[in-house]
Structure 1
């Protein structure tokens, strides 16, 4: 394996002086795809399949949201503000062509924000086990009682959430192995099986995600619960959704509703798979993205 094709940690300077950290996978000469990580993790949570990326002629750019990894804390984080950060990142890397974008879990909402806010910069979108935006009024009636309760707690008791994320950041920093094992024991079978298989990868990604004393995770949660700041219907690029029928984090019941709002976007609904399905279906996911980019 060439050293240039190993995951490369990079930083770029944003227009307001902040630092944005990211990880690049693959050859910088190949077609770029921006990956938005899930909640409480980072851009280091991707499989480094250099042969697959070379075959598809893709590179992956996985930025850490503010407060994660090497990215500066940015307390007024919103979906639109991070979409603008990603465009500034692309400009700093001298990437002018439209990119693919994908997002896992809440990262799917960030992928939609990029496509809706900067349609000329996005050629295709893939949503992986995506969540709905908690702060959008139209979405509220589609939420389960559990998610309605979590939304209420996040907005009503921010100090408690801040304290919780601070405590978790210390656990990830001091006892990463014990912490990942604790999370695995609390997961449903579909998630526990895959997390145990990719234990070290997900452990290290979470350690970076909870950097800066968990500040970024808290700000990400607050952004998720606030008004969306863009219209889902403004996404013009082709969209594909992947979701597991056994998803124990975000059930598949309202994924058809999201697909309908995206113009009837096709959905891959996978039996017996959970929230971590992107790790088990990475080749097929990237192959589909390469096809979408080739069509564009």
Structure 2
């Protein structure tokens, strides 16, 4: 089910729901170059496990109106309006890749309502010690540019947008060629390839593209809250592919050290391991809904 929510600010928030429409609500935050389509990775498993996955597009993606933000905390009022509009009380959150800051920001502000928090291939603050070890050099460079010179970041993303719009079917294979071997294998599946093409269209064709992506990069370095301040009675579960070169395993270890209550599960695969690990990710979330949170980190 897809709908557009008219926010009090006058902006539109595009939202797509997956899974069991009468199940436990889970708000899903998509990745950097992504959209609500990424919730499709876990849709079947969510339906089987009684989860209602609610995936909004961030500002400037698809039909969601663009707005200026300075930290991921600025997104929390949208989450509150979304929850109010859908009549949600308590809910869970999932942040995949670049959606991690938004899931954690929601936990920071609305911890009393967040029952579980799951991070998949999550991009944490890049300034955490050792967090970028193993990251592809070009992505490390882009992260640095994004924080120091947003204009250059916009230019780089605009060049990517121009190449995509000129020939989408040629653009994506060139991008995939820069990923790890497990990710390249996953994208040999036509249904996964076409899903990511829809993501790219949501960002570069329907959305504002470069402007929104450049803003996202800057937000990674300014969460607006220290990770140690997150509620200790809410566990954050990290899922990380051991062969990920987009957000490397070093980032997961850096998050383990920074988060007050964390469970880390390192699994075979690359950045898009959620496609194959969806059953385990959803099953663990389902288990956590009925178990008490521990105050100690687990790995």
TM-score (norm 2): 0.86
Rounded Cα–Cα distance in structure 2 between residues aligned with 1:292 and 1:90: 21
Could you tell me which residue of structure 1 aligns to residue 239 of structure 2?
242
2:5 pairs with 1:9: no
Report the Cα offset of residue 127 of structure 1: 0.9
Rounded Cα–Cα distance in structure 2 between residues aligned with 1:18 and 1:149: 33
* Residue of 132, 137, 147 corresponding to 2:124: 132
Rounded Cα–Cα distance in structure 2 between residues aligned with 1:128 and 1:142: 15
Could you tell me which residue of structure 2 aligns to residue 189 of structure 1?
181
Q: 1:262 to 1:18 in 2, by over 3 A?
A: same
Q: What are the residue-to-residue correspondences of 1:191-270 with 2, within 5 Å?
A: 191-197=183-189, 198-210=192-204, 211-225=207-221, 227-236=222-231, 237-270=234-267
Rounded Cα–Cα distance in structure 1 between residues aligned with 2:251 and 2:150: 27
Q: Which runs of 5+ in 2 are unaligned?
A: 293-299
Could you tell me which residue of structure 1 aligns to residue 295 of structure 2?
none
Q: 1:26 to 1:192 in 2, by over 3 A?
A: same
Rounded Cα–Cα distance in structure 2 between residues aligned with 1:172 and 1:209: 11
Rounded Cα–Cα distance in structure 2 between residues aligned with 1:158 and 1:286: 36
- SS of 1:212's partner is coil
Report the Cα offset of residue 49 of structure 1: 6.3
Q: 1:284 to 1:160 in 2, by over 3 A?
A: same
Could you tell me which residue of structure 2 aligns to residue 281 of structure 1?
277
Kindly report the root-mean-square deviation, in angstroms, between the aligned alpha carbons of the 2 structures: 2.2
Could you tell me which residue of structure 2 aligns to residue 295 of structure 1?
291
Could you tell me which residue of structure 1 aligns to residue 114 of structure 2?
122
245-254 or 144-153, which moves further after superposition?
144-153
Could you tell me which residue of structure 1 aligns to residue 68 of structure 2?
75
Rounded Cα–Cα distance in structure 2 between residues aligned with 1:9 and 1:155: 34
Contact kept, 8 Å, 1:169 with 1:207, in 2: the verdict is no
Contact kept, 8 Å, 2:142 with 2:153, in 1: the verdict is no
2:15 pairs with 1:22: yes
Q: 1:109 to 1:50 in 2, by over 3 A?
A: closer
Contact kept, 8 Å, 2:238 with 2:263, in 1: the verdict is yes
How many equivalent residue pairs?
Answer: 283
TM-score (norm 1): 0.87
Q: 1:240 to 1:155 in 2, by over 3 A?
A: closer
Could you tell me which residue of structure 2 aligns to residue 4 of structure 1?
none
Contact kept, 8 Å, 1:73 with 1:215, in 2: the verdict is no
1:150-176, Cα deviation, whole Å (9 max, x unpaired): 343223332221122223233334422
1:19-56, Cα deviation, whole Å (9 max, x unpaired): 11121112332111111111111111232666533331
Contact kept, 8 Å, 1:117 with 1:230, in 2: the verdict is no
